[in-house]
Amino acid sequence: MSLIRHSFIITGQVQGVGFRPFVYRIALDNQVTGSVNNSSEGVIIEVQGSIERVSQFGEDLAEKLPPLAKIITFEMEDMETVEDEDEFIILKSTGGQGHSVLISADVATCPDCMADIKDENNRRYRYPFTNCTNCGPRYTITRSIPYDRPQTSMACFKLCPDCQTEYEDPLDRRFHAQPNACPRCGPKIWLSDNAGVMIAQGDESLHRLACELAEGKIAAVKGLGGYHLVCDATSDSAVAELRKRKHRPDKPLAIMVPDMTTAQSLADIQPTEEEWLTGLQRPIVLTSKGADYALSEQVAPDTNFIGMMLPYTPLHHVLLSDFAEAAEGRTPALVMTSGNMSSEPISLGNREAFGRLANIADIFLYHNRDILIRTDDSVIRLNPMTGDPILMRRARGFAPSPVFLAESGPTVLGTGPELKCTLTLTKGDQAFPSQHIGNLTNLETLEFYKEIHTHLEDILQVQPEMIVHDLHPDYMTSEWADTLGKERNIPVETLQHHYAHIYAVLADNQFTEPVIGLALDGTGLGEDGTIWGGECLMVMPEDLEHQRLAHFTHIRLPGGETAVREPWRIAQAALWEIGITSPGDYRWPWLDDFAQESKFLPQLLEKNINSPKTSSCGRLFDAVAALCGLANTISYEGQAAILLEKAQDMLETEAYPCPLKSADPVALDTHTLIRCVITDLDAGVGVPTIARRFHLGLIAGLTEMAYSFSMLLDIHHVALSGGVMQNLTLATELPLSLQGAGLMPIVHKHVPPNDACISLGQAAWGQKKLLLEQS
Ligand SMILES: [Zn+2]
Ligand SMILES: [Zn+2]
């Protein structure tokens, strides 16, 4: 029989995902001989056998990949055959394994492990840390590369003989599963009260915890990427108490339910939503509350949507199933919100969590597997028109997966903005946005930010050749970028916030042609020193030229930051801007609560005292929501816009006019929208009608503006980014409207449209800048 020999070199996410045992299995199935080896170039396979067998092996290799493996490059070559080879072997890893191997994100429990924990006769029955090469923790437990047990927080747990046997058997699905563990040798759980006294340990802890939750207690539960604060989502008193203790009065809380049946009883779930809810990444999915929604009104009072997730670790599966039993007769749903005070990063260590959460939680569920990199739950919603995900928070299950860039280049660090911050490092043709870090307004979060930076450089084995930060010099991320640049003696550049948004959505789509960019955002410092946020920009990513074409007409923020928390101020300032200084037939909704302040507001505006002007799109939503009486004040970012979106009467079809105004640069006359809103309010038109006419008017105005510049510049792609693009009405209807005008919209795919994308835009811009300088 004539033999052939092939070699395969494979790169991508091929380590710690059961890749080598998979190769071993298909080699046995096809009766080929040879070897498989992890090297710094990737996984190297050599196979020898008959032509049929070797080619069948090649097909199986491409088609039967283990669930977590992702192949990025695949090279095959013919080789000289070897004599006297009679088996297929897994070689010991060689070298650093650094360059072409990616660490996987954390992955939800697989069906096989689910079967193990449900089987009373299995040695892992109800064991909270059950995992295999197809599932379990990765990123959150990995200190450094290569991804091997000594480099993870499993290093301190010595495998028992049974686990060791599984670990060494290439035909076992736990072969080289670095976090492999069992009740005998692995991490343990226990339950404490809020005085630190242990009240249960081992399996009993979860059962006891479920009972306490069913009785209305608030718990801090250590999970995969940090702590959750947990309570019964059907209990008004428990949810109200959690909100009070956490200082989070209104912001929607996410819930976890045991299964799809429960999920479907609460929300109208679309097939794509079900795929995400039950998939490997298990984000929180924003779904529409159903007719039989039966949770406490306190869970998500401002919106028609409920953020839901299904269990993603065995600990959560067992807890939810115990809770379903303990809360018999009620919908088994637990509020699961990040274990932190509002604005601080999610808690990590046992002692730290106890110190920070003792005033919030009644009981604590701990375990002794360290979380090395804290990672929040990710949040997505689905575009009902396209079924595509819109990321709202990108963290667990996504980080540290890369975004692929249009070309390869030097390593650049983008340090992000101030709010909803992430940082991004590039490596070759890949960009690695960090997980959601949070608002860099306190030192705790800055520490977390620095940890992630070090960790990311470590696991990617790169050092940036340039740092790019926001134009705002006072952001912590800008100051830190300057310090790091000096320390390392590398260039530090700045990129304006809204250009960064557009560069981000272009990088996200590997799009390199000129575009008209619409940055519909909260606020960011502009090149002219004013606050930008409703911007029409031209961006030419190939030569990094960009220009501000137009912006929303200005409104003022009387009181500065105070106006952001008190949208009624923006509303009154917007009226003042169009010449309305006292109420007409419609009584301004803020006159009861803010009579005094309202009286003095015109003086602030006239004398221009602490009343910066802004072209922000987000602040326009705030003004309209406040005018409509939906939000005099807000307690979380985006609240006014969420309420305005919810208020819409979707049957209304009239759009307010929103014309272009010639000025330098051109302005989108959003003052006309304000005038229409107040005219309708004075005429007694209902808020649902007004809310809808406003959304439709803005969409029509934006389309008109993009179309005009498209004709003028002969550019037909429109890139959409900015926090306002999380608004489902804009996210679904604006792209359709642009298409209707013959334009081609480009939207985010892998990173959120909000400020979490800024660091990607900065890094991609910086990489291109270095490439241009070098060419
Ligand atoms: Zn598994
Ligand atoms: Zn064991």
Mean pLDDT by 10 residues, the chain (775 residues): 90 81 91 88 90 94 86 89 90 59 86 97 98 92 82 93 94 91 97 94 97 98 94 98 95 97 97 97 97 95 96 98 95 92 65 86 95 92 94 96 95 96 96 94 91 92 96 95 97 98 98 98 94 98 96 96 96 97 96 96 95 97 98 95 97 97 89 98 98 98 97 97 96 98 98 98 98 93
Q: How far is the CA of 596 from the centre of ligand 2 (A)?
A: 68
Q: How far is the CA of 159 from the centre of ligand 2 (A)?
A: 5
Q: How far is the CA of 181 from the centre of ligand 2 (A)?
A: 5
Q: How far is the CA of 333 from the centre of ligand 1 (A)?
A: 24
pLDDT digits (tens, 9 = 90+) for 229-241: 999 999 999 999 9
Q: How far is the CA of 272 from the centre of ligand 2 (A)?
A: 38
Tokens describing residue 20 = 């080598």
Q: How far is the CA of 185 from the centre of ligand 2 (A)?
A: 4
Q: How far is the CA of 108 from the centre of ligand 1 (A)?
A: 8
Q: How far is the CA of 191 from the centre of ligand 2 (A)?
A: 22
Q: How far is the CA of 125 from the centre of ligand 2 (A)?
A: 13
Q: How far is the CA of 130 from the centre of ligand 2 (A)?
A: 10
Tokens describing residue 361 = 């939680």
Q: How far is the CA of 140 from the centre of ligand 1 (A)?
A: 17
From the CA of 312, the nearest ligand is: 1
Q: Helices (DSSP H) in 156-300: which residue ranges?
A: 161-168, 203-214, 236-246, 260-266, 271-278
Q: How far is the CA of 12 from the centre of ligand 1 (A)?
A: 21
Q: What share of the chain is helix, strand, coil (3-state, %, to 5)?
A: 35, 25, 40
Distance CA 88, CA 34 (A): 5
From the CA of 181, the nearest ligand is: 2
Contacts of 766 (CB under 8 A, 6+ apart): 412, 413, 414, 426, 466, 467, 468, 493, 495
Strand arrangement of the beta sheet that strand 70-79 belongs to: 70-79, 4-13, 42-49, 33-39, 88-90
Strands (E), 50-187: 70-79, 88-90
Q: How far is the CA of 477 from the centre of ligand 1 (A)?
A: 39
- CA 660 to the chain's CA centroid: 35
DSSP, collapsed to helix, strand or coil, labels residue 675 as: helix
Q: How far is the CA of 132 from the centre of ligand 1 (A)?
A: 4
Q: How far is the CA of 182 from the centre of ligand 2 (A)?
A: 4
pLDDT reported for residue 94: 64
pLDDT reported for residue 97: 44
pLDDT digits (tens, 9 = 90+) for 383-414: 999 999 999 999 999 999 999 999 999 999 99
Distance CA 594, CA 589 (A): 9
Q: How far is the CA of 187 from the centre of ligand 2 (A)?
A: 10
Tokens describing residue 536 = 């029409």
Q: How far is the CA of 131 from the centre of ligand 1 (A)?
A: 4
Distance CA 190, CA 201 (A): 4
Q: How far is the CA of 89 from the centre of ligand 2 (A)?
A: 26
Q: How far is the CA of 108 from the centre of ligand 2 (A)?
A: 21
Q: How far is the CA of 155 from the centre of ligand 2 (A)?
A: 13
Q: How far is the CA of 212 from the centre of ligand 2 (A)?
A: 30
- DSSP codes of every residue in 549-618: EEEEPPEE-TTTHHHHH-HHHHHHHHHHHTT--S--SSPPTTTTTSHHHHHHHHHHHHTT-S--EE--HH
Q: How far is the CA of 183 from the centre of ligand 2 (A)?
A: 6
Q: How far is the CA of 136 from the centre of ligand 1 (A)?
A: 7
Q: How far is the CA of 314 from the centre of ligand 1 (A)?
A: 10
Half-sphere exposure (Cβ direction) of 94: Cα atoms closer than 13 Å: 9
Q: How far is the CA of 125 from the centre of ligand 1 (A)?
A: 13
- Contact between 767 and 741 under an 8 Å Cβ cutoff? The reply is no
From the CA of 162, the nearest ligand is: 2
Q: How far is the CA of 173 from the centre of ligand 2 (A)?
A: 15
Distance CA 633, CA 590 (A): 9
From the CA of 163, the nearest ligand is: 2
Q: How far is the CA of 124 from the centre of ligand 2 (A)?
A: 9
- Contact between 738 and 709 under an 8 Å Cβ cutoff? The reply is no
Tokens describing residue 320 = 């939810």
From the CA of 166, the nearest ligand is: 2
Protein residues within 5 Å, CB atom, of ion ligand 2: 160, 163, 182, 184-185
Q: How far is the CA of 163 from the centre of ligand 2 (A)?
A: 4
From the CA of 116, the nearest ligand is: 1
pLDDT reported for residue 546: 96
Q: How far is the CA of 89 from the centre of ligand 1 (A)?
A: 24
Q: How far is the CA of 532 from the centre of ligand 1 (A)?
A: 48
Q: How far is the CA of 174 from the centre of ligand 1 (A)?
A: 8
Q: How far is the CA of 133 from the centre of ligand 1 (A)?
A: 6
Tokens describing residue 184 = 């005998």
From the CA of 280, the nearest ligand is: 1
Q: How far is the CA of 106 from the centre of ligand 2 (A)?
A: 21
pLDDT reported for residue 593: 96
Q: How far is the CA of 207 from the centre of ligand 1 (A)?
A: 23
- Contact between 677 and 654 under an 8 Å Cβ cutoff? The reply is no
Q: How far is the CA of 99 from the centre of ligand 1 (A)?
A: 27
Q: How far is the CA of 184 from the centre of ligand 2 (A)?
A: 5
From the CA of 154, the nearest ligand is: 2
From the CA of 109, the nearest ligand is: 1
From the CA of 185, the nearest ligand is: 2
From the CA of 174, the nearest ligand is: 1
